[in-house]
Chain A
Amino acid sequence: MKTEYFKEQLYTLLEFTEIINSTLDINDLMNIVMDKAKSELEAEACSILFYNDKTNKLEFEIAICNNQDTCETLKKKISIELGQGIAGWTALNKEPLYIEDVRNDKRFYSDADKITGFITKSIIAVPLIGRRGLIGVAEIINPERTNYDKDIFVALCKQFAIAIENALLYKESLERERLKHELEIASSIQKSFLPDRPVFTKKDFFIKAVNIPAYMIGGDLYDFVDLSNDKVDFIIGDISGKGISAALYMAKLISDFRHISVLNNSVTATIAHMNNIVNNAPMGMFITAIYMSCNVSKGHIEYINAGHLPFLKIGVDGVVNVIDEISGPPLGVMEYEYQPLTIELQKGEALLLITDGVIDATGMEGKHFGFNRLLDFVKKHHSSDRLLELLIEDINVYSRGFQRNDDITILELRRL
């Protein structure tokens, strides 16, 4: 008789192990296993509560019983504090409980029954503990069968907990993959908003740009607009914040800039129009930007620096000047009358405009690349026709092994 009993237990164990290993789908796994446990123990209901470490509460993830309304009410309306009720006690103490008559147990939390109308008589509650700690609690309610082996039951629950954890990890990894794929698509869409080619030439003006988002998508922007025989406008900017919101707004602003720069015939009108648009941006978003309008025949440039970093002027002789005049605050902060500034570019001279990802690139001991290192670098390589590429290489060497937090955009304007 004893042999028969152990044989039966062993079969049950094997059957459960097979079910546990049969799927990585978290919902299938929990439903199949709990349904099986419910029928094996001839129980009226069963449930799994997950531990939410943000609220420090247990919430119903799975509830199986004959009344669908009861199950839905449990999932939507009831959460349990750690230490509260049988499930809360089990989670807090990480020990199983077998309560044959809940009326005799002070730990029993009767509010769930009051809300659902269900009558709980007996409970088996087992903590589900994975490698990362408490996952939750599994409960079997009103089991008819009581002649089960508690050790085997606990062993099964341990296996079940690990299977749940694996399924959760699998779900997370699928989600990460999906997100990565979505970001790759977003990244290629965002790149399509930038000029088709990062190089632009008009008469003896030569413009080259590089844009490297810190993550797959970024909030930096640049653009060139070919306006008339002698005129080319361009912009370099950095939208506040990072990630999807900045990237989306970047896409909108580039479209707006192309339209507005054609629509308006002066630097002040264009920038006022842009400022007006960004002023209505959500969540206080703003953009630091330099907008330049160049007469390519005369080398005369009118520009606005709206709260953006200084730029460099590289002379024919290699003398590098920092142009740090600012026209006003970033676009989108307030109504403001930006006054244009001017600069002349002689043949052989160049301008180098950057976003703060260049100087904020972090290297050893958390030190930033900095403006001085940029200056020294430009002085050394000012005549190279690969200035941008060399600068990017230098930044990469400087920050190798360190997480880049900010997008990098560099724009080189040369009068050949």
Chain B
Amino acid sequence: MEIKIEDQKNIRILSAMGEVDMHTSPELRKHLLKAVKDKIPIVIVDLKEVSYIDSSGIATLVEALKGMMKYKGSLKLCSLSERVKEIFSFAKLDKVFEIYKDLQDATIG
């Protein structure tokens, strides 16, 4: 998995590519925890190029969400593939995370 980082005003965009699983999620976690530590107001995780996310990947997002809630930050997910969308909606995780259609919606939403 590769992660591309882009900083805009008050927003950090983390674009992940590949599968987010127990082997790759530590890399995503490192970037998310850094954003939490820096108290970035809005973090968008762009999952456009992510084909699969397992429970350790979701746990990484949950950890970041909880960390950001402490300083009233906002964690947004966008561009979920059908497979990833199913995983989220099935476990009612779509009620937990702010999920957007694409990066543009996430940025302005």
What is A's interface to B at a CB cutoff of 8 Å?
238-243, 283-286, 288, 307-308, 326, 328-330, 332-334
Q: Report how far A240 CA is from B62 CA in the complex, Å.
A: 11
Main secondary structure of the interface of B (DSSP, over half): helix
Q: Report how far A333 CA is from B92 CA in the complex, Å.
A: 11
Q: Is B93's CB under 8 angstroms from A329's CB?
A: yes
Of B4-12, B40-48, B51-59, B98-106, the one touching chain A: B51-59
Interface residues on B, range: 10 to 19
B60 on interface, CB distance cutoff 8 Å:
yes
B30 on interface, CB distance cutoff 8 Å:
no
B residues 79-97 near A (Cβ < 8 Å) are: 90-93, 95-96
Contacts of A243 in B (CB 8 A): 22
Contact of A329 among B55, B61, B64, B96 (CB under 8 A): B96
User: In chain B, what residue has the closest Cβ to A330?
Assistant: B91
Contacts of B56 in A (CB 8 A): 240-242
* 12 other A-B residue contacts (CB within 8 Å) besides A284-B58, A333-B93: A240-B58, A240-B62, A241-B56, A283-B63, A284-B61, A284-B65, A286-B55, A307-B90, A326-B90, A326-B92, A330-B93, A333-B96
Q: Is B66's CB under 8 angstroms from A284's CB?
A: yes
Known interface pairs A242-B22, A333-B96; A283-B59 also in contact (CB < 8 Å): yes
* Interchain nearest-CB distance for A322 vs B (Å): 13
B residues 15-43 near A (Cβ < 8 Å) are: 22, 29
Contacts of B65 in A (CB 8 A): 284
Contacts of A330 in B (CB 8 A): 91, 93
7 cross-chain pairs, A with B, having the tightest CB-CB distances, nearest first: A284-B63, A307-B91, A284-B62, A240-B55, A241-B56, A284-B59, A240-B59
Contacts of B92 in A (CB 8 A): 307, 326, 328-329
Q: Report how far A285 CA is from B60 CA in the complex, Å.
A: 8
Contacts of B66 in A (CB 8 A): 284
Contacts of B22 in A (CB 8 A): 241-243
* Interchain nearest-CB distance for B46 vs A (Å): 19
Q: Report how far A334 CA is from B69 CA in the complex, Å.
A: 11
Q: Is A286's CB under 8 angstroms from B59's CB?
A: yes
Q: Report how far A334 CA is from B75 CA in the complex, Å.
A: 14
* Interchain nearest-CB distance for A215 vs B (Å): 11
A-B contact pairs, 7 of them (CB 8 A): A240-B58, A242-B22, A288-B91, A326-B91, A329-B91, A332-B62, A333-B93
Q: Is B55's CB under 8 angstroms from A238's CB?
A: yes
* Interchain nearest-CB distance for B23 vs A (Å): 10
Q: Is B59's CB under 8 angstroms from A307's CB?
A: no
Contacts of B91 in A (CB 8 A): 288, 307-308, 326, 329-330
Contacts of A326 in B (CB 8 A): 90-92
* Interchain nearest-CB distance for B55 vs A (Å): 4
Q: Is A284's CB under 8 angstroms from B64's CB?
A: yes
Q: Is B95's CB under 8 angstroms from A241's CB?
A: no
User: In chain A, what residue has the closest Cβ to B63?
Assistant: A284
Q: Is A333's CB under 8 angstroms from B62's CB?
A: yes
Contacts of B60 in A (CB 8 A): 283-284
Q: Report how far A332 CA is from B58 CA in the complex, Å.
A: 12
Q: Report how far A307 CA is from B22 CA in the complex, Å.
A: 20
Q: Report how far A285 CA is from B64 CA in the complex, Å.
A: 11
